[in-house]
Every structure is written in structure tokens, then in C-alpha cells.
Amino acid sequence: MSVVAGPLLDIEGLRVEFDTPHGRIVGVRSASLSVRPGEIVGLVGETGSGKTLACRSAMRLVPSPGRITEGHVTFDGRDVLAMSSRRLRQFRAHEVGMIFQDPFSSLNPVLRVGRQLEETLRVNLGLATAEARTRALELLADVGIRDPERRALSYPHEFSGGMRQRVMIALATASQPRLLLADEPTTALDVTTQAQILKLLTRLSRERELAVLLVSHDFGVIAQVCDRVAVMYGGYIVETGPIGAIYTNAQHPYTRALLESIPRLESAGKKTRMRAIAGDPPDPTDAVSGCVFKLRCRHRQPVCDTISMKLDPVSPGHETACPVRPFAAADEQHVTGAGARA
């Protein structure tokens, strides 16, 4: 699928800090990524790597007492961090939508699903009541909810987890946004429902030229739908590139470690021990010198104590923060499997 060359969302050098009674916590140390129209970009990493904060920063939704202290966030060339309160409300209402991890906590439990969609359409688009009701039913049908007239009268607790997530997608796309931020949208869903939700996101991206930033801790989820992936660890983007290049030629040891932890079909039924990443993630209250992954890395060298975590090119569109590149000549060790979405 062809996409527009220039990025719609561009995050550069992002840093997010929290001032607490116990000291300063750095949730994101330096993150740069972009998403083009019609493109799905995955942001993957362990819990606590900073990916959700980076995602929320695109809408200036960093929870208090967090604040963005460095970097730039631009949308279609406009500075999101410099937007006034009025302009920011318009931006959130019309140009970007967000799907949160837990749809049940994001939906109002005492309002019928149709009513919640209607209110969103009336407030954000100024639709009249009858027009909003018609459009709400169309949105429910568009995200695959059967018998929308009847299900619009249901409350959130009367839906399954997958159906609630479909409602959240309908709410997030009700105003026809150009960018969709999806924060772990398939967490706690069974694999069949996961596949259905991912297929829905892919269809919406293709049909509407919708830019999607998909946050996940699961490389398997990322592989199914994403065009490009950014791997995050300890508040840094440590590797980024086309999904096929990352899967077949990952150059950062952390990326390789994540890929090695994915169960393989060829090992089904065999007593195969999964390789865990030794050690613990970095403490966000500690200052980082050199590579943020060095204490857990099997390929650590003296140069790792002094690097800047700057991304360097591997091939067109593929960059890594690892100067050692222990896999550069190890073609026989390449991790194979998934490729880019069709």
C-alpha cells in the first residue's frame, strides 16, 4: 500500500519527567518516531519502557505530575506542544482519536452504548439528535457489531471484551480523525478476538488513509498489521525500521531478545525452553550513562559505557542505537517469521 511521503505525526527527542516526593522519575528519556497517512507503526517494548507515555504525549495526555520537558511533537507540521487550550480541544475532538487499553473503564457504565456515541457526535461534530442517532448506528455497523439498532440500547457490561473494544474504536473514529492512537488494544482478549480487532484496524487504516500508532508489548501482534516498528527500552527508541527488516535482520540485542522470546510453531509439542532476558529493566529514577541495555546485554563491550543512544542507519529506513552490531555478519542467526502486512 502506498502512503504519503511526509509524516503526519512527528515526535522528535521526546523527554517526559515526573517530579515526586521521592525524586525525579524519567519515564521517557529520548524518543523519536513518525507516522505517515495510511501507515500503521508499532511501538513495542516491555512494561515500563515508556511506550504508553510516548503515545499519550502525541495528544498531550501525560498524567499529572508528568510533564514533557524536552522535544517536539508536530501534527501535519503544527506544534502540538504550543497549542492553546482551545486549539488542543479541537485537535483532540477532530483530528486524533485514542483507544485505551481497558475499554470497560473508558466507557460510562450507566449510559447505553448508543447514547455515548450520540453524545460524542453531537459535541464534537455538532450533529442534531436524529442525525447523531443515525450516524451512531452506522458506526456500530462499520466496526462489525451486528444488529446495531438493538445493541445500541445495551450497556457496556452487556458486551464481551472484544465487542467493547469495537465500541471504543467506533468512538475513537466517530469524528473521522486522521490519526488513531491505539494503546494495547488487544490486551486480555483471546487470540481469535485479537485477530478480529487487528483486522478491523487494518481495514480502517486502508480505507480511510488513517495513520495508526499501535502500542503493544507483543511482537506477534505488531507483526500482523504494522508497516514499521519502533522498539522501546528504558525510555529510548533503540531500533526502528520496516517490520520485515526488523524480523529478519534486527541489529539491537534487545530487539533480538524480544524476538527470541516469541513462541514458534515449529517448537509446538516440544519441550523447548524460552530464552528470558536476564536482569531487570533500568530504574527510572537512576541516571543512565551509555547504553541503557548494557547491564542485561550478552554482547556488552567497553564502548557501551559511553555511547549516546543515537540511532545510526543499518539500511534504508532501518536504524539502531547499538554501536557493537553483534549480528551484522551473522546472517545464519537471522530471526525469520512474520513480514509486513499485505
3-state DSSP assignment of residue 59:
coil
Q: How many CB atoms lie within 10 A of CB 190?
A: 12
Taking only the tens of pLDDT, the chain with its 342 residues reads 444 458 999 999 999 999 988 889 999 999 999 999 999 999 999 999 999 999 999 999 999 999 999 999 999 999 999 999 999 999 999 999 999 888 888 899 999 999 999 999 999 999 999 999 999 999 999 999 999 999 999 999 999 999 999 999 999 999 999 999 999 998 878 889 999 999 999 999 999 999 999 999 988 889 889 999 999 999 999 999 999 999 999 999 999 999 988 766 555 556 666 677 888 888 888 888 899 999 999 999 999 999 999 999 999 999 999 999 888 755 444 444 444 454
H-type alpha helices, 156-231: 161-172, 191-208, 219-225
- The domain limits of the chain are 105-176
State how far the alpha carbon of 280 is from the alpha carbons of 46, 142, 214, 251, 252, in Å.
Answer: 11, 43, 25, 21, 17
Instruction: Please state, in angstroms and rounded to a whole number, the distance separating the CA atoms of residues 42 and 52.
Output: 12
3-state DSSP assignment of residue 295:
helix
Instruction: Please state, in angstroms and rounded to a whole number, the distance separating the CA atoms of residues 156 and 154.
Output: 7
Written as one string, the DSSP assignment of 24-48 is: EEEEEEEEEEEE-TT-EEEEE--TT
pTM score above 0.85: yes
Instruction: Please state, in angstroms and rounded to a whole number, the distance separating the CA atoms of residues 274 and 256.
Output: 13
Instruction: Please state, in angstroms and rounded to a whole number, the distance separating the CA atoms of residues 36 and 213.
Output: 10
